Structure 1
Amino acid sequence: MTPDARTALRKLASGVAVLTYRDGERAHGATVSSVSAVSREPLLLAVCLGATSRFAELVAAPGARFGVNLLRAEQAPLAGWFADPRRPLGLRQFDCVDWLPDGFSGAPLIEGSLAGMGCEVVSASIAGDHVLLVAEVITGAPGAGLPLLSFAGQLHDGDLRGLPERQPHPYATEESMGAIR
């Protein structure tokens, strides 16, 4: 790895989410910035977790169920809370948030999130020092607001500005565009 490789990869902006798990009194939450859409049919997402994380221990097997809470910009303190190893264990770590159990996974879905989803693990594999989970999205509850983003090691509000419709490349010609279609 070159010295700048890690810095270069940190330029990848991504949404911040809290993954949640609950099985009776056993519960856990974990902040991640590595959730990605994978497929529309079936509806799949991917999540990366540290291989030694508590969350990976709980859900890194096909059939395991968990929740995904995409955070709004105003929920940045929750990202810090669910990343803090000093927070209480079990359901007590959710005492500071309003939540409802997901109808599919039973996992806490944090009220006011940008979106909440109930998922089932399809596959889990080791990827370097992480576990890569691919999960099917079974339930979804879209919310509203601006996303919380991770960029260059810091959290940012997702003050999004729409760009104009797709513009052709300045060197594209009608003839070359027709060849692509």
Structure 2
Amino acid sequence: MELVDALDIRRVFPQGPTQDQIDEFRRLGAEQASGVAIISTRIRNRDYAATVSAYLSVSYDPPTLLVSLYAESRIALAVAESGSWALSLLTAEQKPQANWLASPGTPVEGLLNQIDFRRGPLTDNAVIAGALAFFEVETTAIHEAATHLLVVGSVVSMGEDATWKKDLSPLLHYGGDYRRLKP
């Protein structure tokens, strides 16, 4: 079999995927644990933030990150307009913050009123207090991919905020729920 034939997705879904196939893809994709983070940005003195688990380090030199955002979401539109964003990697203890910002229908006004944060030193975007790590990022490219925007950016500032302790664990998303590494 030629490599091109093996990669021809149209052979797998000749008419496009059915809802059952989409659901199965989602279920199988949930078998991979991923870190949970909060992405934030600021436009015209209004904060926008959301919980994400689809992000990755693209390069160490120069430090570059990518985040995948549903294209019609408030956060995707805000990040695309603002040109900068912050990504705060959460601890297992920050599950309430992750739940709040993953909930549909969160308010536009006062979105971060119940979350402890500070302003990033270079972008002024919200950095979640107590995060395992944070990155301030300037967008360098946005790519449309199916229903999502892949936002790529250069890291302009980074650090850590969590106080180390023996049972410190990242917040993970696995099997459709939040998990931790350490009991």
TM-score normalized by the length of structure 1: 0.81
Is 1:141 aligned with 2:164?
no
Moved over 6 A (4+): none
Percent of residue pairs identical: 32
Q: Based on CA coordinates, which of the two structures has the bigger radius of gyration? A: 1
Residue 102 (structure 2) aligns with: 83
Q: Supply the AA of the counterpart residue of 1:30.
A: A
Residue 52 (structure 2) aligns with: 32
Q: Is the 8 A contact 1:20 1:27 kept in 2?
A: yes
Q: Is the 8 A contact 1:109 1:116 kept in 2?
A: yes
Look up the SS of the partner of 1:56 in the other structure.
Answer: helix
Residue 114 (structure 2) aligns with: 96
Is 1:56 aligned with 2:76?
yes
Return the alpha-carbon distance in structure 2 between the equivalents of residues 114 and 98 of structure 1: 14
The RMSD of aligned alpha carbons is: 1.8
Structure 1 pair 85/4, CA: closer, same or farther in 2 (3 Å)? closer
Q: Is the 8 A contact 1:23 1:106 kept in 2?
A: no
The Cα of 1:116 is off from its aligned counterpart by: 1.4
Return the alpha-carbon distance in structure 2 between the equivalents of residues 104 and 32 of structure 1: 22
2:182 to 135, 159, 167: 159
Could you list the runs of 5+ residues in structure 1 that have no partner in the other structure? 161-181
Look up the SS of the partner of 2:32 in the other structure.
Answer: coil
Give a deviation string over 1:115-164, Cα, whole Å, max 9, x none. Answer: 1111011110111111111111111121343110001111101229xxxx
Return the alpha-carbon distance in structure 2 between the equivalents of residues 147 and 33 of structure 1: 12
Return the alpha-carbon distance in structure 1 between the equivalents of residues 91 and 105 of structure 2: 23
Between 21-30 and 149-158, report the one with greater CA deviation.
21-30
Look up the SS of the partner of 1:60 in the other structure.
Answer: helix
Q: Is the 8 A contact 2:142 2:152 kept in 1?
A: yes
Q: Supply the AA of the counterpart residue of 2:137.
A: C
Residue 148 (structure 2) aligns with: 130
Q: Supply the AA of the counterpart residue of 2:180.
A: D
Residue 134 (structure 2) aligns with: 116
Q: Is the 8 A contact 2:48 2:111 kept in 1?
A: yes
How many residues end up aligned between the 2 structures?
158
Q: Supply the AA of the counterpart residue of 2:77.
A: E
Return the alpha-carbon distance in structure 1 between the equivalents of residues 44 and 121 of structure 2: 14
Give a deviation string over 1:67-119, Cα, whole Å, max 9, x none. Answer: 111110000011110112332214x1111122110011111111111111110
1:44 to 61, 64, 71: 64
Look up the SS of the partner of 1:124 in the other structure.
Answer: strand
Q: More helix by proportion, 1 or 2?
A: 2
Look up the SS of the partner of 1:74 in the other structure.
Answer: helix
The Cα of 1:37 is off from its aligned counterpart by: 0.7
The Cα of 1:56 is off from its aligned counterpart by: 0.9
